[in-house]
A and B are shown apart, each in its own frame.
Chain A
């Protein structure tokens, strides 16, 4: 406070202080001294990266910041500067192509952004200037301007709502373009801003811009004719965000507080951090190996060259004199340029085209996910959404799945099941047939034989009707209904608002609607709000009115919410509902015991339970609470904490009146999906904010816990058992569990046992938030505990973490992510509280559920339903992984056997950097001759049918742990490349021991040599891919045979013409002459066959790739279907 005052006195440095002061309408305020208009940024939105002037340099700079591009640039420059064996064109052309295409694409995107920016910046808005309305371009709005916005317009900047055309001083907005939530949200005008905006003299003091859409604190000083300035607190409910749209309100006036790039929307588009896939890491590792190979090759050749040259008569024989310049050059400089030349000659071993192909594969491949109609959900009319294409293959590598419970495993559509008033159970008849020994159902809306007193019943039902933030849907004309305040969050998980269109009730969380509807069944109907009065129709069809004094909002830490109302007769009551753990300590203990049993029983049945308590406030108590609340609401900093303190103070000494049970049904196929994931070797962790019993029952329902699963519990309850200090107990329990799960048991690890249902003991681990924070924060042994905990968890099939705060979810994910072996983690969730873990995990999956769009927005992939996860991982993920892994290995392989003959040739040409292949071949090899088949393969290959992959979850384990990109497969591919390279070169070398290969006795020269090697190479490499292709669509056929045909055609064409403007006609008729030689044909056939022989052999010796991991029944089915030589893929899932 003091600092701010000081700052205000000295300098007004708005940048450094943590609040800013805005003069509404730029009018100086009487209270302040000299009016110095503060400087804020203008309202221009600049989302474009480039301008016309800086596009070229900036874009080029950004492109060459990629290591690969930079490497190729260096190679190109070396070729330009140094006299190298291959012309700069060979590497310059592909690089130029890649750079140009990227630049054009980025330029186009930026142009679109410019267009969009302009549309926004030039948009005409109405601004009140000295009482007159003036049209201005949006970009000219200054902070402090009073802006008029009419219906269906977007807000041009962040505004504080001053005046609305609606009578209740609210306005409705939709933030669809901000967070995707299409419901209407209510925003409130600042109280007491007079109707006459022209003469309003006020200052707004608010925090500096920050990106959190749902947070805003500020206050407004309103100066009225020399009166003491009135101070009003400002919250998010007063702030209209740029990008949101005004709905159902004719027009509003607001004062601009944040403008341009400082608006919350602009601050939110800073982009999330780039996630990189493991495959990319593997590529980089392989690249390093190849770089080493490249450098050592160049070194060997340079050394050889100078050794060879040192022999008499070799360096400069009479027939091959150097130029004067070459003679004069410094020896060491020569060595260096020779080294560079060799680097250039062999640089094709690291192909620029691989990057292009990988990017293309990822980009195009991701379309298959969004195209998949199995992901289409008719309910929301949407399919899957791919936000990043970088992680496709990562989907096939998942080891840990972190799932949210509410909305993800369960449907989050709530149904009121029963309630318990004063220890007596009330249940709907239709929802249950089983009778509890101690309570009986009876009548659709009536009670059991043993009833609680009518008074208690009514009090309880009133509480249900009053303690909520539900709104009744307004009459016609509003398709979506009215949501609630932005921060009016309620829901046991702290999940965000969304509309639930049930019987016209709109609420932030479905629980609330379920409760209100539940109360309705028992005769108490909530009729809605009338200004500040809540109207409730009681059983006698009388309308009771209660004045709503305060709403003590829900938050996930308190896990409860309260309302303070004043009844007609003047009684001030506080109703509170919340999780049992947060209510029980705040009520009288004797009441707890009566209800606890019900609550726990309900929880084990998988219901969500809430306890309801109430308290009668005396007027003094209320006055005190009211003052506290008002003060806290006005606080500028730490408002949350202060509010919390007041809330906690008010919500004490209540009396418990009952509990409710609400059923949250499981998602479709939730159990099957979870089972499949587990069978695929993934470990499923459930991270939920829900209470343990509920979560546990959900786990049982999802078959995550099986009957035989031994549960290891580490919760506050287990820790309190011993009656000792928690830390000691924690230590003890941890060691005990560790012994049981890690040291003692499994002689066989999960990875080894294919039969996952075997007799091996399954362990499930349960931990709650409090214990977890104890675990993480208990100072000295924290890391030791953590590793113990991790080890236990890693040996459990399922881990359940309940009562998690969003941040703790991320903590858990982070811990697993960074554990030994850095396993690939996947988080799936649907609500705002899952965003942190979605962002933290390697792959974040959002469910397009009922809880808004935040999870979807922050996710890498979004799917409509949980059941789609199975196909996404087991089907798409597996295939993408296999595809890209093969792509990468193949690329390295094909370039190794491309360059190896070139290297070997150096031993036969005096290490003179003479290229074996013609420049055209060098350039085209990666671009044209061999690029398309692998691209087609990497997009279309299904080595196993999608259906088989999905029905045999265990197949997923075959590619687990980056199986196809580890060092041993890499070594295999490399050896294959070396073998083939050697074969190509020496096969032709022996043929050329007599270069008279034609039947007319004429001889072949060095270009024929290169062309034969190259032909063998192209055919081998393409046929190798053909052999690996298990799924031949017409595209594969077209591309593979087309590539070979194109090679033939190109070679004829290239050698068939005397090319004008070229001084060298090296290949003139070389190819055609080669084809005239029977020996050349024979050697090509021989070498192609011989180089593929080991591959064929391996194919035969290795039993058909996967069957051992299949279940026998399916195995047989598969074998029979596979024994037919060709068959179309079954077309049903």
Chain B
């Protein structure tokens, strides 16, 4: 494109319009400017990567990465994590019946209790996740099936949701929140009970706030303004087809956690990257003044209100209890990767050093002579 125009310019010079002497080379008639830029003589730094300069880098990387890796690995290993699958695929599983008898029309919810025991106590805050497998939250049709302006409290979008929400856009009235993501909100209720050695059940307090990104909760998701009474605000909309209760009853007890700003809802709306994922469900906070662990060693019962069907697509549901460190949840990958890369760099450094020592000597002799 540019080049063709360049030619055109050249033609211009010989245009019929060249009444006078536009002669060739008008622009070069003068002495070219003697600037560093035009003469391609800008002062420049010319790094030369040679074995001599790179070798230390290898060692530095090795020496840096190995400790970091070890640190990461140790941290990750120290993170306690407990995972239990409560899908109920096996006959023996306590949730088997719930998973079998499932139907959407069931108004009565099915509950099951899954007993488990913790061999080791959780000392600090415990984060409770639910995990789904083979659930394609990253399917394109699914990911785009939402209306962020509706979720942001936009009133017009509330009444006429984005077309992207099809086929979860409207039943008879516009659906709020619309779209496949909202429609498939994870609606199992998980409760945790500690079985005292004496046999009594103590409910473990689960904090349901602080599980969503702060910015999501406070900026991105907003209830339509105008009225504190959400029932009024959401008038004229209908609940998503698979929901049992409308959006303004997600958490009737806490107006700050109800409607679109319900944190469970917000967490669900952040679509997962991979078909096997976990999402933060509750936080079990460390007792502030108590020396006892957050979750002591012992027997527990997970009470599941089994609402969420996954068998149809061969999915799995898990409950995960995990501690969190500065690097996040338990994941040995980073530590191993760092250690590997660090030691590879170190070894390469050694190999290169020997090569440099053996063959480079001749070169340096060349140079110095």
Q: A362-B3, A1000-B324 are in contact. Are A319 and B16 (CB under 8 A)?
A: no
**Shortest Cβ gap from A259 to chain B (Å):** 12
Which residues of the partner chain A approach B157 to less than 8 Å between Cβ atoms? 1063
19 more CB-based (< 8 A) A-B contacts, given A912-B136, A991-B331, A1064-B164 = A45-B16, A101-B1, A182-B21, A318-B312, A355-B1, A388-B3, A910-B138, A942-B44, A991-B334, A995-B273, A996-B127, A996-B280, A1032-B45, A1058-B219, A1086-B334, A1089-B341, A1104-B50, A1126-B46, A1131-B41
Interface residues of B in 132-154 (CB under 8 A from A): 135-149, 152
Interface residues of B in 343-369 (CB under 8 A from A): 344-345, 348, 352, 363, 366-367, 369
The listed residue (B12, B38, B48) touching A116 by CB distance below 8 A is: B12
Is B177 an interface residue, CB under 8 A from the partner?
no
Q: How many Å lie between the Cα of A1006 and that of B2 in the bound state?
A: 40
| Cβ-closest 6 pairs across A and B | A116-B17, A319-B184, A996-B329, A1009-B273, A1001-B127, A363-B2
**Shortest Cβ gap from B4 to chain A (Å):** 8
Residue of B nearest to A123 (CB): B19
Question: Contact: B270 with A1005, CB < 8 Å?
Answer: yes
Q: How many Å lie between the Cα of A1099 and that of B352 in the bound state?
A: 12
Question: Contact: A1129 with B32, CB < 8 Å?
Answer: no
Chain A 253-270 near chain B by CB (<8 Å), digits 1 or 0: 000000000000110010
Residue of B nearest to A1030 (CB): B46
Is B267 an interface residue, CB under 8 A from the partner?
yes
**Shortest Cβ gap from A1040 to chain B (Å):** 12
Question: Contact: B40 with A1001, CB < 8 Å?
Answer: no
**Shortest Cβ gap from B205 to chain A (Å):** 16
Question: Contact: B6 with A363, CB < 8 Å?
Answer: yes
Question: Contact: A371 with B144, CB < 8 Å?
Answer: no
Question: Contact: B143 with A1006, CB < 8 Å?
Answer: yes
> 29 pairs across A/B with beta carbons < 8 Å?
A105-B1, A182-B21, A317-B136, A320-B136, A321-B168, A359-B3, A362-B2, A370-B32, A382-B29, A387-B7, A389-B6, A914-B140, A914-B143, A915-B140, A996-B280, A999-B325, A1000-B324, A1001-B127, A1002-B213, A1003-B267, A1003-B278, A1006-B271, A1006-B273, A1058-B152, A1069-B213, A1086-B65, A1086-B341, A1099-B49, A1100-B352
Chain B 30-54 near chain A by CB (<8 Å), digits 1 or 0: 1111101011111111111111011
Question: Contact: A1100 with B280, CB < 8 Å?
Answer: no
Which residues of the partner chain B approach A119 to less than 8 Å between Cβ atoms? 17, 19
Q: A319-B180, A1000-B324, A1063-B148 are in contact. Are A385 and B28 (CB under 8 A)?
A: yes
Which residues of the partner chain B approach A47 to less than 8 Å between Cβ atoms? 11, 15-17
Q: How many Å lie between the Cα of A1086 and that of B341 in the bound state?
A: 8
Chain A 91-120 near chain B by CB (<8 Å), digits 1 or 0: 000000010011001100100110111011
Question: Contact: B24 with A180, CB < 8 Å?
Answer: yes
Is B330 an interface residue, CB under 8 A from the partner?
yes
Residue of A nearest to B327 (CB): A1079
Is B300 an interface residue, CB under 8 A from the partner?
no
Chain A 294-320 near chain B by CB (<8 Å), digits 1 or 0: 000000000000000000111001111
Which residues of the partner chain B approach A995 to less than 8 Å between Cβ atoms? 272-274, 277-278, 329
**Shortest Cβ gap from A213 to chain B (Å):** 12
Question: Contact: B139 with A115, CB < 8 Å?
Answer: no
Q: A117-B17, A383-B31 are in contact. Are A940 and B42 (CB under 8 A)?
A: yes
Question: Contact: B10 with A387, CB < 8 Å?
Answer: yes
Q: A856-B24, A992-B273 are in contact. Are A908 and B43 (CB under 8 A)?
A: no
Hey, which bits of chain B sit against chain A, CB under 8 A? Answer: 1-3, 5-12, 14-25, 27-34, 36, 38-51, 53-55, 57, 61, 65, 68, 72, 125, 127, 129, 135-149, 152, 157, 162, 164, 166-168, 180, 183-184, 210-213, 215-216, 219-220, 242, 267, 270-275, 277-280, 283, 309, 312-314, 322, 324-331, 333-334, 337-338, 341, 344-345, 348, 352, 363, 366-367, 369
The listed residue (B14, B211, B271) touching A1002 by CB distance below 8 A is: B211
Hey, which bits of chain A sit against chain B, CB under 8 A? Answer: 45, 47, 63, 66, 85, 98, 101-102, 105-106, 109, 112-113, 115-117, 119-120, 123, 154, 176-178, 180, 182, 242-243, 245, 265-266, 269, 271, 312-314, 317-324, 355-356, 359-360, 362-363, 366-368, 370-373, 375-376, 381-385, 387-390, 848, 853, 856-857, 908-910, 912-915, 940, 942, 946, 987, 989-1009, 1027, 1030-1036, 1058, 1062-1066, 1068-1069, 1072-1073, 1077-1079, 1082-1083, 1086, 1089-1090, 1093, 1096-1097, 1099-1101, 1103-1104, 1115-1116, 1119-1120, 1122-1123, 1125-1129, 1131
Which residues of the partner chain A approach B30 to less than 8 Å between Cβ atoms? 381
Question: Contact: B367 with A1120, CB < 8 Å?
Answer: yes
Which residues of the partner chain B approach A1065 to less than 8 Å between Cβ atoms? 148, 152, 220
Question: Contact: A321 with B273, CB < 8 Å?
Answer: no
The listed residue (A120, A182, A388, A1033) touching B7 by CB distance below 8 A is: A388
Which residues of the partner chain B approach A1129 to less than 8 Å between Cβ atoms? 41, 43-44, 46
The listed residue (B34, B138, B220) touching A914 by CB distance below 8 A is: B138
Residue of B nearest to A1103 (CB): B363
Which residues of the partner chain B approach A1093 to less than 8 Å between Cβ atoms? 341, 344-345
Question: Contact: A1100 with B312, CB < 8 Å?
Answer: no
Question: Contact: B213 with A1073, CB < 8 Å?
Answer: yes
Question: Contact: A914 with B139, CB < 8 Å?
Answer: yes
Question: Contact: B148 with A1064, CB < 8 Å?
Answer: yes
Q: How many Å lie between the Cα of A1000 and that of B273 in the bound state?
A: 19
Which residues of the partner chain A approach B333 to less than 8 Å between Cβ atoms? 990-991, 993
Which residues of the partner chain B approach A1035 to less than 8 Å between Cβ atoms? 42
Question: Contact: B46 with A1032, CB < 8 Å?
Answer: yes
Q: How many Å lie between the Cα of A387 and that of B13 in the bound state?
A: 11
Q: How many Å lie between the Cα of A105 and that of B324 in the bound state?
A: 59
Which residues of the partner chain B approach A320 to less than 8 Å between Cβ atoms? 136, 139, 141-142, 145, 180, 184
Q: A112-B12, A1031-B46, A1082-B72 are in contact. Are A946 and B18 (CB under 8 A)?
A: no
Question: Contact: B1 with A1119, CB < 8 Å?
Answer: no
**Shortest Cβ gap from B219 to chain A (Å):** 6
Question: Contact: A1063 with B162, CB < 8 Å?
Answer: yes
Q: A115-B17, A909-B275 are in contact. Are A1125 and B143 (CB under 8 A)?
A: no
**Shortest Cβ gap from B350 to chain A (Å):** 13
Residue of A nearest to B181 (CB): A319
Question: Contact: B39 with A373, CB < 8 Å?
Answer: yes
Which residues of the partner chain B approach A997 to less than 8 Å between Cβ atoms? 327-329
Q: A383-B31, A388-B7, A996-B280 are in contact. Are A318 and B334 (CB under 8 A)?
A: no
Which residues of the partner chain B approach A370 to less than 8 Å between Cβ atoms? 27-28, 32
Q: How many Å lie between the Cα of A753 and that of B150 in the bound state?
A: 74
**Shortest Cβ gap from B76 to chain A (Å):** 9
Q: A372-B32, A914-B138 are in contact. Are A996 and B1 (CB under 8 A)?
A: no
Question: Contact: B43 with A313, CB < 8 Å?
Answer: no
Question: Contact: A1005 with B328, CB < 8 Å?
Answer: no
Question: Contact: B136 with A910, CB < 8 Å?
Answer: yes
Question: Contact: B41 with A1082, CB < 8 Å?
Answer: no
Which residues of the partner chain A approach B41 to less than 8 Å between Cβ atoms? 1129, 1131
**Shortest Cβ gap from A720 to chain B (Å):** 46
Question: Contact: A1063 with B147, CB < 8 Å?
Answer: yes
Q: How many Å lie between the Cα of A39 and that of B47 in the bound state?
A: 72
Residue of B nearest to A119 (CB): B17
**Shortest Cβ gap from B218 to chain A (Å):** 10
**Shortest Cβ gap from B184 to chain A (Å):** 3
Which residues of the partner chain A approach B23 to less than 8 Å between Cβ atoms? 176-177, 180, 182
Residue of A nearest to B355 (CB): A1101
Question: Contact: B270 with A1003, CB < 8 Å?
Answer: yes
Most buried by B among A359, A995, A999: A995
Q: How many Å lie between the Cα of A515 and that of B40 in the bound state?
A: 46
The listed residue (B1, B17, B280) touching A102 by CB distance below 8 A is: B1
The listed residue (A356, A368, A1063, A1122) touching B1 by CB distance below 8 A is: A356
Residue of B nearest to A115 (CB): B17
Which residues of the partner chain B approach A322 to less than 8 Å between Cβ atoms? 141, 167
Q: How many Å lie between the Cα of A190 and that of B291 in the bound state?
A: 122
**Shortest Cβ gap from B18 to chain A (Å):** 4
